[in-house]
Amino acid sequence: MPKKRYIYDIHYHAFDLSHANLSAFLRRLIMQRKQLLNENKLEKLLKKYIPRFVKFLVPLVPYRKLSEKIMGGLNEFVDGRFAEIANTLAVFENPIEDHFLIIEYFLKQNPEIIKDNKIVIGDDTYDKLVICPLMIDFGQKTTKLNFKGHYNRMPGKPIVKQTIDLFNAIKNYYKYELVLDKETDRFIRKEISDPKKKPMLILPFLGLNPENYKAKNGDSSINSLFKQYFDGYNKDTKETRMDRAEKSIEAFLKFEGKLTDKNNKDKNLLNMFFGVKLYPPLGFDPSKEINLELFDLCIKNNIPITTHCSDSGFVTETQKNQEEFTSPLKHWNNVLTKEKYTKLKLNYAHFGIQGHEKTEWKQKIVEHMNVYPNVYSDISSLAQEKSYYKDLTQWLSLNDKSNICNDRLLFGSDFIINLLESSSYNQYLENLKNCNEELKENICIKNPENFLFN
């Protein structure tokens, strides 16, 4: 493909409430609440848990002006939280088919982000923003949830439906744009003439837990899944893989809602995934034989893997299993130490963030980067604050003496999962202005291209 200047978000999510497992989402909220209590930070405790008690006591305050002042402050606080919740639900409740169109519309409202269909970050201009929506396999069929309710079995959410919906959403993005009808104040779709001029290129990762695809006799169907979704990838060079990315626009536009090539002459219709997404807290155990088979196929076909790597998230496993499956200190370390898996192209998401300001996972990830040539880590869910890049630079100067992270860190947003912690997707791109030029060039362009295409 012609040499173009692209900027990459390697960790993005696009799904609606019909795809996510709300039982796991509830478990995530409960865990976050417990973590907050354990941290024992006064400011957070006051903001999260004291207002309801203060509100109860307010009528007993004898001074009317003081009472009104307290109530006014509480209402302002509650309104602020409501705005964040409503903002999040507004994205999740919109049908997935319009997701990318909505994100693009609001990015375009800021000419300092998109101008003339080019991406603008500070003084730099890019031909496109490449985003990698990471699917999550919510397909558990027997997982028992950790609560005492009568119906405590997690419902299965087949990945097939989520895949079809995501593909249709990508197709809609390349086919339309949203415009605001001034009379009705509603969005309407407008067909566009040249999809290649769109400011975003979308390269999805397949969410996969092989145990959800075992036959009754115990045999795995992973080989057939790879033949369907990654056929011919083992012959790719860097150039042909990048060319595949460019041609995916045409492939998505031809998608007709089926995940079979029986009636499709163009087999490229199905070769539209660019990696695999794993989610250990939902039951993916890296050490199991069926998952080692998956790693073999990923190495053979040069497929990058992104695995969730923080101690929070959507959780169905026990605390012990969640930690062991997710931690770079445990099963993942055992996998990588086997010679045949030293070539595995693995991205530890979220830079191994842990609660209570622990850094063992993060430090282990840096150690793995120094030992294994294809280990990466992304900064998704971390970079919503303006101060993040300054803090990251300071941490790396103290803990990355070999400067290996310059070649292995990846920019990621974790949008839309962490929308409660940020105002918008725009915010992540705007905050990149605070990243120094060398680091930005590495984490947003050089390293993601190596991870995706080399």
pLDDT digits (tens, 9 = 90+) for 94-149: 889 999 999 999 999 999 999 999 999 999 999 999 999 999 987 765 555 555 66
Distance CA 107, CA 118 (A): 11
With respect to residue 1, please indicate whether it lies within any of the assigned structural domains: no
pLDDT band at 20 (very low <50, low <70, confident <90, very high): low
With respect to residue 402, please indicate whether it lies within any of the assigned structural domains: yes
With respect to residue 154, please indicate whether it lies within any of the assigned structural domains: yes
Using CB atoms within 10 A of its CB, is residue 397 exposed (0-12), middle (13-18) or buried (19+)? exposed
pLDDT band at 57 (very low <50, low <70, confident <90, very high): very low
Q: Same structural domain for residues 74 and 201?
A: no
| Sheet of 124-126, strands arranged across | 114-115, 118-121, 124-126
pLDDT band at 207 (very low <50, low <70, confident <90, very high): very high
With respect to residue 297, please indicate whether it lies within any of the assigned structural domains: yes
Positive or negative, the CA dihedral 353, 357, 360, 362 is positive
Q: Same structural domain for residues 60 and 141?
A: no
Residue 441: pLDDT over 50: yes
What is the pLDDT at residue 22? 60
Residue 229: pLDDT over 90: no
What is the pLDDT at residue 63? 44
Residue 355: pLDDT over 90: no
Question: How many domains are there within the chain?
Answer: 2
pLDDT band at 4 (very low <50, low <70, confident <90, very high): confident
User: Which CATH number do you get for residue 169?
Assistant: 3.20.20.140
With respect to residue 122, please indicate whether it lies within any of the assigned structural domains: yes
With respect to residue 251, please indicate whether it lies within any of the assigned structural domains: yes
Q: Same structural domain for residues 10 and 55?
A: no
Q: Which CA distances in Å does 160 have to 32, 151, 157, 206, 207?
A: 30, 25, 9, 10, 10
With respect to residue 55, please indicate whether it lies within any of the assigned structural domains: yes
Q: Same structural domain for residues 11 and 47?
A: no
Residue 436: pLDDT over 90: yes
Predicted TM-score (pTM) of the model is: 0.85
Which residue segment(s) compose the domain that 61 sits in?
A: 38-84
Residue 240: pLDDT over 90: yes
Q: Same structural domain for residues 59 and 199?
A: no
Higher per-residue confidence, 396 vs 356: 396
With respect to residue 156, please indicate whether it lies within any of the assigned structural domains: yes
The pLDDT mean for the chain works out to 84
pLDDT band at 53 (very low <50, low <70, confident <90, very high): very low
User: What are the φ and ψ backbone dihedral angles of 446, each rounded to 5 degrees?
Assistant: -60, -55
Q: Same structural domain for residues 22 and 100?
A: yes
Q: Same structural domain for residues 204 and 131?
A: yes
> How does pLDDT run across 360-405, given as a tens digit for each residue?
999 999 999 999 999 999 999 999 888 999 999 999 999 999 999 9
Q: Same structural domain for residues 201 and 156?
A: yes
Q: Which runs of consecutive H residues, i.e. helices, occur in 58-185?
A: 64-93, 99-108, 159-175
Contact 48, 36 (CB under 8 A): yes
What is the pLDDT at residue 239? 95
Q: Same structural domain for residues 363 and 279?
A: yes
Q: Same structural domain for residues 399 and 340?
A: yes
Q: Residue for token digits 């303006």? A: 386
Q: Same structural domain for residues 324 and 447?
A: yes
The mean pLDDT value for 418-428 works out to 88
Q: Same structural domain for residues 300 and 363?
A: yes
* Token pair in block for residue 367: 């150690």
The mean pLDDT value for 207-235 works out to 81
Considering the chain, what percentage of its residues have pLDDT values greater than 70?
A: 77
